[in-house]
């Protein structure tokens, strides 16, 4: 029960890593505010947590807006009395090389992935300070460290999250607020299916990329969720301003 008694907000909790993280936080004793923009998905995740004996509520909110982030933080205060952890996880992607990426898609990705995290953290920090400290866990990506020719807009947002993490770790450390990023490789989520569906031969592409992983598989959402819970827990109280790469050994290889 690593996070027993803590109040945790998880954005993008309707599917993928966010859903797995919300459930994992619930298993380990947290009161979870599940947030998603898609109607009903956050409530579904919350129902799964409470159905397993945990504590959770679902909030439908658009985290690309200040209003959406105020809505989710207010729900944490109104329901559970405060906030200890923000897992800024919500993210979207767009498949195209840079010259084929419309400005509207660039802005849409930055609005959710980068601006959304900024607005969420801005709303959460006063609540974390009021608790005497806390943890912010940001889902970045391996593509914030390395590149993919078909995901420049996505990679730009994830690199921005890593840079923001460092600045926040430096500025918020005196308030006992830790800030870290998780940088996963490929994860078995709807975004990964979208990536392979974009390829000329999805099955061949999946096999070729899987074969590059020393562990011989892509991550499951729970693999990332386990790291999120660790970073939010008291076991990680001296970790701040770092990336934890969750890539099955992919970057350990040269070729």
Question: CB of 206 within 8 A of CB of 196?
Answer: yes
204 touches 234 (CB < 8 A): no
Q: By C-alpha distance, which of 41, 34, 134, 12 is closest to 82?
A: 134
Contact between residue 138 and residue 181 where contact means Cβ atoms under 8 Å apart: yes
First to last CA, the chain: 40
Q: Dihedral of the CA atoms 216, 217, 219, 223 (nearest 10)?
A: -60
Which secondary-structure segment (H or E) carries 226?
A: helix 221-232
Strand order in the sheet with 31-36: 55-60, 31-36, 7-11, 85-88, 134-139, 177-184, 243-246
> Angle at which helices 190-198 and 202-210 pack, to 10 degrees?
120
The residues assigned a catalytic role are 154
* Distance between CA atoms of residues 228 and 180, nearest Å: 9
């Amino acid at each position: 029960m690593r996070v027993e008694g803590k109040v945790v907000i998880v954005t993008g909790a309707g599917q993928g890593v966010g859903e797995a993280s919300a459930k994992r936080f619930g298993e380990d004793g947290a009161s979870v505010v599940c947030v998603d923009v898609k109607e009903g998905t956050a409530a579904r995740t919350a129902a799964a947590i409470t159905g397993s004996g945990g504590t959770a509520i679902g909030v439908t909110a658009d985290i690309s807006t200040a209003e959406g982030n105020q809505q989710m933080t207010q729900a944490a205060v109104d329901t559970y009395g405060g906030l200890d952890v923000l897992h800024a996880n919500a993210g979207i992607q767009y498949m195209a090389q840079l010259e084929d990426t419309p400005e509207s898609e660039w802005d849409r990705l930055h609005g959710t992935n980068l601006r959304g995290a900024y607005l969420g953290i801005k709303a959460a920090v006063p609540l974390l300070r009021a608790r005497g400290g806390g943890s912010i866990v940001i889902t970045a990506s391996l593509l914030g460290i390395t590149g993919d020719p078909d995901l420049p807009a996505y990679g730009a947002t994830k690199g921005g999250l890593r840079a923001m993490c460092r600045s926040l770790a430096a500025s918020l450390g005196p308030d006992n607020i830790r800030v870290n990023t998780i940088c996963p490789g490929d994860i078995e989520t709807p975004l990964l299916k979208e990536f392979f569906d974009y390829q000329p031969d999805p099955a061949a592409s999946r096999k070729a990329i899987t074969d590059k992983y020393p562990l011989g598989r892509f991550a499951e959402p729970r693999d990332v969720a386990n790291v999120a819970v660790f970073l939010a827990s008291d076991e990680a109280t001296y970790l701040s301003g770092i990336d934890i790469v969750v890539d099955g050994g992919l970057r350990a290889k040269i070729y």
